[in-house]
Amino acid sequence: MARLTTFIHAAKQTLDLAIYDMRFSDPLRTQLASALRERADAGVQIRFCYDGDKPVRPNVASGQDPAPAGTSAFVQSLGYPWRRIAGMKLMHSKFILRDRQSLWTGSTNMTDDAFTLMENNILEIDSSALANYYADDFEQIWEKENFDNTGEIHTVPVPLTFSGQSAEARVMFSPGCGLEIDSEIARRVRAAQRRVRICSLLINSGTLISELGNLLRGGRVAVDGIYDRTQMAEVYVQWQEVPSNRWKISALKDIIARAGLVGKNSTPYTPTGRHDFMHNKVLVIDDTVITGSYNFSRSAQFNAENILFIESAPLAEAYSVYIDHLKRKYGS
């Protein structure tokens, strides 16, 4: 929260927040509300887009994510312009756009559990070129109040600097580019030369599973990483109920065994229980980092999501060190 409020305090003109899940306890809410009020009093325009509350018993198989209720009440209590975003699936993005210049994005929801119990990653990026793409996506969602038929935004890589070295990043948005994202991830896995490292809550894209299987059978590229074993076990149950998905069960279990993927045993999901998932959505492919709100799943193609493809050897190494840390922490 200290990093988040520092990010907010730097705003000069605008703060646009695209939020999936936002429900802080009083101590964290107080810090956030104070930072927003200070900026609003200085003339900064603040807007929230958020995903509407979910049913008490969501249909996970149809793409209704089991987010607890409360985001609507929390966002509205802050007192700034807001829009509840409708759509067939989820407005699952989690990003803050500051002055059309800087970004706060990644896998992290705005909850106590996300900040304290889950493994997540956050990127802070200063780039007007990249920020303008996010601004286009936010405006589409804001104007429509529905994310269906949004996110079809043509993007190209933009230059960045990380750790004193040149880098570049490309953002893509779903649902507009959902199929293209799935294909791009598969293409990059297929083209890997040295390593594919996985750090992901879920691995349930059939395309990704197929490409990882091919890579492991080829034996020329190292594949390893970590996933959330408990949450994937729930996915296996869903797959078993859909004949066209049953092949994924044995295919993914084979990948997990061949690659020696470490599984975190998180707490099974309940609306009011402990939410301590391994919640990252990361692939490190050679010197590329792929991350964002986008789970590696078919459902993500139809949600409102953002995903970054960042070419940077030192950033890839930083993520690689983090993956090693998680593997040691949860490895048996």
Residue 284: which of 228, 324, 229 has the closest Cα? 324
Q: Are 119 and 279 in contact (CB under 8 A)?
A: yes
211: three-class secondary structure by DSSP: helix
What's the pLDDT score for residue 273?
Answer: 83
The residues near 65 (Cβ < 8 Å, ≥ 6 apart) are: 54, 58, 90, 92
What's the pLDDT score for residue 248?
Answer: 97
Burial of residue 224 (CB within 10 Å: 0-12, 13-18, 19+) is: middle
What's the pLDDT score for residue 69?
Answer: 81
Cα dihedral across residues 7, 8, 13, 15: positive or negative: positive
* Domain segments of the chain as ranges: 2-330
Tens digit of each residue's pLDDT (9 = 90 or more) over 117-128: 999 999 999 999
Tens digit of each residue's pLDDT (9 = 90 or more) over 58-87: 555 544 555 678 899 999 999 999 999 988
Residue spans of the chain under pLDDT 70: 53-67, 332
Using a cut of 0.75, tell me whether the model's pTM lies above it.
Answer: yes
> Would you state the structure tokens that stand for residue 44, as one six-digit string?
């900064």
Phi, psi angles (nearest 5°) of residue 116: -120, -25
Cα–Cα distance between 33 and 25 in angstroms, integer? Answer: 12
CATH classification for the domain delimited by 2-330, as one of 3.10.20.30, 3.40.50.300, 3.30.870.10, 3.30.1780.10:
3.30.870.10
Residue 137: which of 6, 295, 303, 21 has the closest Cα? 303
Q: How far is CA 183 from CA 1, 98, 188, 211, 329, in A?
A: 35, 30, 9, 11, 32
Q: How far is CA 48 from CA 21, 54, 84, 189, 205, in A?
A: 12, 18, 8, 35, 30
Cα–Cα distance between 106 and 309 in angstroms, integer? Answer: 12
Give the max Cα distance, the chain. Answer: 60
Q: How far is CA 144 from CA 92, 94, 150, in A?
A: 16, 18, 9
> One-letter amino acid identity for 166?
S
What's the pLDDT score for residue 63?
Answer: 47
What's the pLDDT score for residue 119?
Answer: 98
What's the pLDDT score for residue 320?
Answer: 98
What's the pLDDT score for residue 54?
Answer: 58
Q: Which residue has the tokens 């509300």?
A: 33
